[in-house]
Amino acid sequence: MVLSGWEGESMGDISRERRGENPVYPDRPGTSRRRFLDYLLGTTATATLGAIVYPIFKFMSPPQVIESTENSVVAAKLSEVPVNTGKIFKFGNKPGIIVRTSAGELKALSAVCTHLECIVQYRPDTKQIWCACHNGQYNLSGKNIGGPPPRPLEEFKVNTRGDDIVVSRS
């Protein structure tokens, strides 16, 4: 088979070109222009390469917020949730509530009321979870014990890691 790729007319001698030498007139006026073009080419190419490599390196270095996962989240700090209070936090794209009971125990539940999706709150006076919209009540395990809510609140797992309260799906 004819390997037609390697034959035929060609357009110039590479090796001399690579050496940067003008083969016929070494001191032709084009030399300085060529050198200028080469210089410009070199610097622009380096700059562009840098503009490509820079974002890549920044991308690879870990960002401030390390993890993306919805399965567990640092809901709050222990210092932010005193005894007998509750705090709302973001879990994925739904709100959750952390409750620290008067016994000091931590509970984490979904904060979306199962009646009409208002956000529930912790009532330190009744020590229950309450929905202000239509007087729905839940106990601290999330069970719906009063008012319109038809289903309990989903309960999450709570762990502490130092001062962090970590909430994860059960």
Partner 1 sequence: MISGAAKKEHIFLVASARRSINILLPLAIILVLFSLASAQKKSSCIECHSKLEDTRLSGPAKAFDNDIHHARGLSCNDCHGGDPNADTKEGAKDPRKGYLGKPKTLDIPAYCGKCHSDANLMKRFNPSLRVDQEREYYTSVHGKLLKSGETRVATCISCHSVHGIRAITDPLSSVYPSNVAETCSKCHASADYMRGFKIPSDQFDNYKKSVHAKALYEKQDLSAPTCNDCHGNHGATPPGIASVANVCGQCHARQAELFQVSPHKAAFDQRQFGECIKCHSNHFIAKPGDEMIGMGEKSVCITCHTTGDKGFIAAGAMRARIDELIGSVDKSTEILNRAERAGMEVSRPKFDMKDSTDALTHARVLIHSSSTAEVDKVVAPGLAASAKGYQAGLDALAERSFRRKGLAVSLVFILFLATLVYLKVRQIERHQNESANSA
Partner 2 sequence: MKLDAVTSWLDERLSISTLAKLASKKEVPLHRHSIWYYFGGMTLFLFSVQVVTGILLLLYYRPSSENAFESVQFIVTEVKFGWLIRSIHSWSANLMIATLFIHMFSVFFLRAYYPPREITWISGVFLLFVVICFGFSGYLLPWNKLAFFATKVGTEIAGVVPIVGRPMLRFLRGGDDVTGATLTRFFGFHVAVLPATATVLIAIHVLLVQLHGMSVPPNLLGQPVKKMKFIPNFLLRDLIGWILAIGVLAALAALFPWELGEKADAFAPAPAGIKPEWYFLFMFQTLKYLPAKIWKFDGEVIGIMAFNFTAVLLFVVPFVDRSPENRRRRLIFNVIGVLALLYILGMTIVGYLT
Of partner 1, partner 2, none, which one does residue 6 interact with (CB within 5 to 8 Å by kind)? partner 2
Residue 66, interface with partner 1 (CB under 8 A)?
Answer: no
Residues linked to residue 152 through DSSP beta bridges, in sequence order: none
- State which residue, 134 or 157, has the beta carbon closest to partner 1: 134
Q: Which stretch binds partner 2 (CB under 8 A): 30-38, 52-60, 131-139, 142-150?
A: 52-60
- Which one of 26, 29, 63, 104 is in contact with partner 2 (CB under 8 A)? 63
Report the C-alpha gap between 71 and 168 in whole angstroms: 6
CB crowding 23-55: b at 16 or more within 10 Å, else e: eeeeeeeeeeeeeeeeeeeeeeeeeeeeeeeee
Is residue 96 within 8 A of residue 110, CB to CB? The reply is yes
Of partner 1, partner 2, none, which one does residue 69 interact with (CB within 5 to 8 Å by kind)? partner 2
Residue 71, interface with partner 2 (CB under 8 A)?
Answer: yes
- Which one of 61, 79, 93, 170 is in contact with partner 1 (CB under 8 A)? 93
Residue 149: DSSP 8-state? -
